[in-house]
Chains A and B, each alone.
Chain A
Amino acid sequence: MAKQSRRSEFLSEVGNISAFTGKFFREGFKPRYEWSELFRQCYIIGYESFPLVGITAFIMGLVLTVQSRPTLEEFGAASYLPAMVAVSIVREIGPVITALICAGKIGSSIGAELGSMRVTEQIDAMEVSGTNPFKYLVVTRVIACTLMLPILAVLADGIGLYASYIGVNLKGIVSLNLYKTQVFESITFSDVMPALVKTYFFGFAIGIIGSYKGYFSNKGTEGVGIAANSAVVVSSLMIFVIDLIAVQIADLLGLT
């Protein structure tokens, strides 16, 4: 009995998120456009997340390089280190780490912000004052997430690769020029493109799920916490699901 109700709860949640996404596409491309709010959200989501994403990417690049070295040395292939790390950063680590960090930072903040706006009737107030709150709050945030995440991921890739350069040079000497040559020789468009396209979907998922959880949070301050929490949990999970789908599609298209 309880199992069945949980299953139907899950299905109705999926249905609601789908309907919410549908509403986003219906509302998002009709005027009027909330440009200034969009820029404000881009600033908050993109610029203000950058230090966190940057630090994470730097550490990941460094750690990945240092960790990979012993294994590659075992095969006598230590000179492959830049190439291998570059491919893993560009294809997977950069996008996914960025997305997870953003799911934590942006997803929760959108969930909490919209949740508390719902609870304190700010969303109703907006509706009554003639501003479509869905457009003003949800569409701007989702678009901002979708646009900013790829940029964050590209910057994270760059920082991660630089950290990897430092990591390579901790033991052994590789000039920046050689490192650059090795990295760009190993990376192809079929590494960059799926990874880049993937990040748009990551951003979209973070925006949609955070907004959905906040926008429909239940009454009460407890609802705000739940909204923020489940926004992070569900969007993190969605990131991995999208990643899985993306790798399959990339594989089908022969972009491996």
Chain B
Amino acid sequence: MTKTTNNIKLGLFVTIGTALLIIALYLIGSKQHLFNDSVKLNAVFKNVDGLRNGNNIRFAGITIGTIEKIDIITDSLVVATLLVDKESVKFIRKTSIADIGSDGLMGNKLINISPGEPGSAVVIENDTIYSLAPIGTDGLMRTLSNTNNNVLDITQDLKQITKRINESHALWDLLADTGSTKKIKSSIQHLETMTSNANTVAADVESMVKDIKNGKGAVGKIISDEHTAVEFETLLKNLRESSDTAKLALHHMHEFMRDLNITPGPLGVLARDTAMANDMRSMIHNMNNSTATLSENMKALQGNFLFRKYFKRQAKKNVSGK
């Protein structure tokens, strides 16, 4: 009698224990997608960045499968075999991209599958999808460390520059000198004017050349008239010279700016040197001159009888255009 009840209790005990185990295993298994119908896909990587068998596969942030195995195919090719739920596989296309991410900064690695192009075909069993290079924490850290080093260098340079600038009284004097600042300003203004003039000239020359090509206006005459041709040549030569001078001035200016920017050594010397200040002044003067010469040349060109008509027509055209 007691034996039977004992055996019933034992049976109950064993049944509950076994049932608990089976339920637990089923729950774990269903989390690992072991009991769902699944489809095998391959994903090709250069580097799987610590991905392991059993890691999750996500699509749009939802876990849709696990990694069955990972094989090295060649020295630069790793193929991961993915087990993807049958129901989810219809969302993955042949153009989908697999990339390796991780579940939080410290979490497990996982594969993210992106949706792919809308029009492309849906994958089938044993299809291969391609990958992006993984942004691993390692890589991130390496880049970050490089950036840090660069920032450090830059800061050090900046510090040195600031120190030198602070130590250089001459530079401060130069900066404080309103006269030279004004001159620099006016020379820049001159430069602007000059450039716009040059632009106008260039545009005029361009349309003129077009006209010449079309055989319009007085150009035919110019070409036949030797005297006019010589005069025209001289004119062009002057024009070239003046633009060369402007170019040179610009070059000087450019050099000066570069010196100011990148070579703090000579800058101090230059800035302290009064001769240099004179040079600068004369350079700016030259620039003014050359700009003036260019303007003159332009005026001369406009005044030339051959071109007078042309320029007038241009002016008219501009007016009527407006």
Given A40-B3, A188-B32, A189-B32: A46 touches B21 (CB 8 Å cut-off): no
**B20 contact from A39, A155, A187, Cβ within 8 A:** A155
Q: Determine the residue in chain B with the shortest Cβ distance to A49.
A: B13
- Binary interface profile of B, 148-167, with partner A (CB < 8 Å = 1, else 0)? 00000000000000000000
**A196 contact from B10, B21, B32, Cβ within 8 A:** B21
- Binary interface profile of B, 11-54, with partner A (CB < 8 Å = 1, else 0)? 00110111011001101110110000000000000000000001
Q: List 20 A–B pairs whose Cβ atoms lie within 8 Å, in order of A's numbering.
A: A39-B7, A39-B10, A40-B3, A42-B10, A43-B7, A43-B10, A46-B10, A46-B13, A47-B10, A47-B13, A151-B13, A151-B14, A154-B18, A154-B20, A155-B17, A158-B24, A189-B25, A189-B29, A189-B32, A196-B21
CB of B28 within 8 A of CB of A187, answer yes
Tell me if B6 is interfacial: C-beta within 8 Å of chain A. yes
Tell me if B86 is interfacial: C-beta within 8 Å of chain A. no
How distant is the Cα of A151 from the Cα of B11 in the complex, in angstroms?
A: 12
How distant is the Cα of A39 from the Cα of B16 in the complex, in angstroms?
A: 17
Tell me if B237 is interfacial: C-beta within 8 Å of chain A. no
CB of A43 within 8 A of CB of B9, answer yes
CB of A158 within 8 A of CB of B20, answer yes
Q: Which chain A residues border B27 with CB–CB below 8 Å?
A: 180, 184
CB of A188 within 8 A of CB of B54, answer yes
Tell me if A129 is interfacial: C-beta within 8 Å of chain B. no
How distant is the Cα of A206 from the Cα of B123 in the complex, in angstroms?
A: 55
Q: Which chain A residues border B18 with CB–CB below 8 Å?
A: 151, 154
List A residues at the B interface (Cβ < 8 Å). 36, 39-40, 42-43, 46-47, 50, 150-152, 154-155, 157-158, 180, 184-185, 187-190, 192, 196
Interface of A, helix, strand, loop or mixed by DSSP: helix
**Shortest CB distance A253–B (Å):** 12
Q: Which chain B residues border A157 with CB–CB below 8 Å?
A: 24
Q: Which chain B residues border A50 with CB–CB below 8 Å?
A: 13
How distant is the Cα of A240 from the Cα of B10 in the complex, in angstroms?
A: 28
Q: Determine the residue in chain A with the shortest Cβ distance to B26.
A: A184
**B17 contact from A152, A180, A188, A192, Cβ within 8 A:** A152
How distant is the Cα of A180 from the Cα of B30 in the complex, in angstroms?
A: 13
Known: A47-B9, A154-B21. 20 other contacts (CB 8 A): A36-B3, A39-B7, A40-B3, A40-B6, A43-B7, A43-B10, A46-B10, A46-B13, A150-B17, A151-B17, A151-B21, A154-B17, A154-B24, A155-B16, A155-B17, A158-B24, A180-B27, A188-B28, A192-B24, A192-B28
How distant is the Cα of A155 from the Cα of B16 in the complex, in angstroms?
A: 8
Q: How many residues of B contact A (CB 8 A)?
A: 20
**Shortest CB distance A83–B (Å):** 11
Q: Which chain B residues border A185 with CB–CB below 8 Å?
A: 31
Q: Which chain B residues border A154 with CB–CB below 8 Å?
A: 17-18, 20-21, 24
How distant is the Cα of A202 from the Cα of B14 in the complex, in angstroms?
A: 18
Q: Which chain B residues border A180 with CB–CB below 8 Å?
A: 27
**Shortest CB distance A225–B (Å):** 29
How distant is the Cα of A142 from the Cα of B24 in the complex, in angstroms?
A: 27
**Shortest CB distance A155–B (Å):** 5
Q: Determine the residue in chain A with the shortest Cβ distance to B14.
A: A151
CB of A189 within 8 A of CB of B13, answer no
How distant is the Cα of A73 from the Cα of B54 in the complex, in angstroms?
A: 29
How distant is the Cα of A200 from the Cα of B48 in the complex, in angstroms?
A: 37
Q: Determine the residue in chain A with the shortest Cβ distance to B9.
A: A47
8 closest Cβ pairs, A-B complex: A151-B17, A43-B10, A184-B27, A154-B21, A43-B6, A47-B13, A158-B20, A154-B17
How distant is the Cα of A184 from the Cα of B25 in the complex, in angstroms?
A: 9
**Shortest CB distance A76–B (Å):** 12
Q: Which of B9, B18, B28 has the most CB of A within 10 A?
A: B28
Q: Which chain B residues border A47 with CB–CB below 8 Å?
A: 6, 9-10, 13
**A184 contact from B14, B20, B21, B28, Cβ within 8 A:** B28
How distant is the Cα of A50 from the Cα of B9 in the complex, in angstroms?
A: 11
CB of B25 within 8 A of CB of A192, answer yes
How distant is the Cα of A215 from the Cα of B25 in the complex, in angstroms?
A: 38
How distant is the Cα of A150 from the Cα of B54 in the complex, in angstroms?
A: 26
Q: Which chain A residues border B54 with CB–CB below 8 Å?
A: 188, 190
**Shortest CB distance A161–B (Å):** 9
CB of B24 within 8 A of CB of A46, answer no
How distant is the Cα of A189 from the Cα of B21 in the complex, in angstroms?
A: 12
Q: Which chain A residues border B17 with CB–CB below 8 Å?
A: 150-152, 154-155
How distant is the Cα of A107 from the Cα of B18 in the complex, in angstroms?
A: 23
**Shortest CB distance A89–B (Å):** 12
Q: Determine the residue in chain B with the shortest Cβ distance to A185.
A: B31
**Shortest CB distance B22–A (Å):** 10
**Shortest CB distance B20–A (Å):** 5
How distant is the Cα of A40 from the Cα of B21 in the complex, in angstroms?
A: 23
How distant is the Cα of A155 from the Cα of B17 in the complex, in angstroms?
A: 6
How distant is the Cα of A155 from the Cα of B14 in the complex, in angstroms?
A: 10
**Shortest CB distance B217–A (Å):** 83
Q: Which chain B residues border A155 with CB–CB below 8 Å?
A: 16-17, 20
Q: Which chain A residues border B21 with CB–CB below 8 Å?
A: 150-151, 154, 196
Q: Which chain A residues border B32 with CB–CB below 8 Å?
A: 188-189
How distant is the Cα of A28 from the Cα of B13 in the complex, in angstroms?
A: 24
